[in-house]
Amino acid sequence: MRPRILALLLLLALPATAPAAERVEVNGARFATSLEADGQPFELVGHGLFRYMIWDAYAGAYYQAPGASTPAPLEAIPRRLELEYFHAIEADDFTGVTRDQVREDLGEAGYRQLLPRLNAFTRAYRSVEPGDRYALTWSEAGLSLALNGETLFEGGDPALAEALFAIWLGDSPLKAGFRDDLLGRR
């Protein structure tokens, strides 16, 4: 009988010594703590909930290549932003917000210089339903946008990538609190 009790106690002790969680959850959306995309490994930096007025709009997770000592969302290092939506949003709404935020961040001259590349990117947007997930990735392969794992856009350059990541992670993001959550600051 004693070996059985010892075995049971050891079994009960396993969860306490198991490795850290492999996923985090934000309002029902689950994000991996590490992943691989385009052959590039990524590690979770932070995650959060984006609220618009009184609604929980989407959950997000920000990743960087392993080994970066601090978050560097606007540098030319491999990085990835995943956003899972809780409400339907039309493609045209994504396009409008993207253009408005990039114009605000870059000023009119910078916006006009980036506009042809930005237009090519925004043409890739698709409408989303609750549970859909966009992933914006910058790696050695370049910039990509995927919806539910399907690549919609590939190309771009560091300037376009920086402008797009700045929408959520820059000095004047859509919401500073969401940025801080994604960057693991709070």
Residue 9 lies in a domain: no
pLDDT tens, 84-140? 999 999 999 999 999 999 999 999 999 999 999 999 999 999 999 999 999 999 998
- C-beta of residue 78 within 8 angstroms of C-beta of residue 65: yes
Residue 14 lies in a domain: no
Q: What is the pLDDT of residue 138?
A: 95
Residue 11 lies in a domain: no
- C-beta of residue 43 within 8 angstroms of C-beta of residue 31: no
Residue 67 lies in a domain: yes
Residue 122 lies in a domain: yes
Give me the chain's average pLDDT, please: 89
Residues 6+ apart with CB under 8 A from 101: 166, 167, 174
CA separation for the pair 13, 171 (Å, rounded): 45
Residue 133 lies in a domain: yes
> Long-range CB contacts (< 8 A, 24+ apart) of 124-131?
124/152, 124/153, 125/91, 125/94, 125/95, 125/98, 125/152, 126/91, 126/152, 127/88, 127/89, 127/90, 127/91, 128/85, 128/88, 128/89, 129/85, 129/88, 130/85, 130/86, 130/87, 130/88, 131/84, 131/85
Residue 145 lies in a domain: yes
Q: Which domain holds residue 149?
A: 20-182
CA separation for the pair 110, 94 (Å, rounded): 20
Q: How many domains does the chain have?
A: 1
Q: What is the pLDDT of residue 21?
A: 56
Query: Which residue shows structure tokens 């993001």?
Result: 173
pLDDT tens, 19-67? 445 999 999 999 999 999 988 999 999 999 999 999 999 999 999 999 8
Domain CATH code at residue 68? 3.50.70.10
Residue 1 lies in a domain: no
